[in-house]
Amino acid sequence: MTLSVALQHNQGAFCLDVAFDAGPGVTALFGRSGAGKTTIVNAVAGLLRPDTAHITLDGVTFNDTATFLPAHKRRVGYVFQDARLFPHLTVAQNLDYALRFGARPRGRDRIIEMLGIGDLLARRPATLSGGEKQRVALGRALLADPRLLLMDEPLAALDGPRKAEILPYLDRLKTESAVPILYVSHAVEEVARLADHMVLLTDGKVVRHGPLMDVMADPAAVPLLGVREAGAVLRATVEAHGDDGLSTLRVAAGPLQLMGVEAPVGAEIRLRVLAQDVLLSLEHPTGLSAQNILPVTILAIKSGDGPGAAIALDAAGDTLLARVTSRAVASMDLAPGKSVFAVIKATSIAQTAISGGVISGAKPAP
């Protein structure tokens, strides 16, 4: 199923002019506040009629010069930043409200189990945590049997523990549900964990879009993602769990020893490696506390406005990203095509940067 979006819309001095396609899986709209993300999803949902638009979903026209399909006929689910549950209804009644719109009731039990909300059915929204409310809102959207699910900053109002609570359920939703998702966020960590494809927005324009791993590892995207948030996403296979708390993962370029991996042996996972946590060495280093050393080849170097430089690295077909100083680039004579070694500390990858879902269409690591 493919969502095709091309629209122009003026809001005062702000002009939104975007075009992109979103296929199966999770497509993230990423950008800073005011980039136009919510305007796009509102247009897809039918809550906004753009000045000019051509929006289609799997051959069904939502918008063009002669057509504007009303929101209730689009079969699009929408999960907002605030859950927007009916406060006077129980969780069960909130869920069943979706059945008024042609949902298939036989999916109710599966959705309740998938989202872990079975114990909440008799409660009212005022008694739920923020993460619980969002899971109920997600269940209600899924029960409406949508062809497409829109999620607009669904975790933005949650604190760290509540985000950590709901992220595994979003991982599971992505793995078990066939519904394509358009996911709006300005949090790189969420996008890196959940998305298959990424659309980068700045000032109402699409500046980069494509498979998540390609966009995240593009040195030119570092200023858009933020220098402290930029990094690559790798696919990996869990090989073993040690008694000391370290797990062995296999990526294309070799083994990695990491902390906080809860996936079972044999599982295919993804992990995010920040560019600032990758060191480069001209020779295979010895005598280091860091045990993760991968042979890589420099693909490209992008110098920033300041003293830093972003370096894309070929790691046996995967792409890593390193951020070093321009002075290091000069002193090490770094250039595209040069072979070096990437060093990654086992403690540098946070548990929240490791997820159980593989990227759609990606081949498992050997």
Range scoring the smallest mean pLDDT among 8-17, 206-215, 349-358? 349-358
Per-residue pLDDT, averaged over 53-72, amounts to 93
Pick the more confident residue, 282 or 174. Answer: 282
**Cβ–Cβ < 8 Å for 163, 123:** no
Report pLDDT digits (tens) over 201-232.
Answer: 999 999 999 999 999 999 999 988 988 889 99
* Percentage of the chain exceeding pLDDT 90: 64
Is the pTM value of this prediction over 0.85? yes
What's the pLDDT at 183? 96
Q: Options 2.40.50.100, 2.40.110.10, 2.60.120.40, 3.40.50.10470; which CATH number does 231-355 get? A: 2.40.50.100
What pLDDT does residue 362 have? 37
The single residue listed with the structure tokens 């051959």 is 59
232-277 pLDDT tens trace? 999 999 999 999 989 999 999 999 999 888 889 999 988 899 999 9
Dist CA 134 CA 231 (whole Å): 28
Q: 124-148, pLDDT tens digit by residue?
A: 999 999 999 999 999 999 888 899 9
Q: DSSP states of 15-28 as a string?
A: EEEEEEEE-SSEEE
Q: Name the percent of the chain lying above pLDDT 70.
A: 94
The predicted pLDDT at position 354 comes to 72
User: Would the CATH topology of 3-216 be identical to that of 231-355?
Assistant: no
3-216: CATH architecture:
3-Layer(aba) Sandwich (3.40)
Reply yes or no on whether the pLDDT at 92 is more than 70. Answer: yes
- Label residue 103 by pLDDT band (50, 70, 90): low
What ranges do the domains of the chain cover?
Answer: 3-216, 231-355
Distance (Å, whole) CA 216 – CA 232: 5
* pLDDT tier for residue 106 given thresholds of 50, 70 and 90: low
Residues 164-173: what's their mean pLDDT?
Answer: 85
Return the structure tokens found at 137: 């809102």
Separation between Cα atoms, residue 248 and residue 145, nearest integer Å: 40
- The per-residue pLDDT for 349 is 81
Give the model confidence (pLDDT) of 310-350 as tens digits. Answer: 999 999 999 999 999 999 999 999 999 999 999 998 888 86
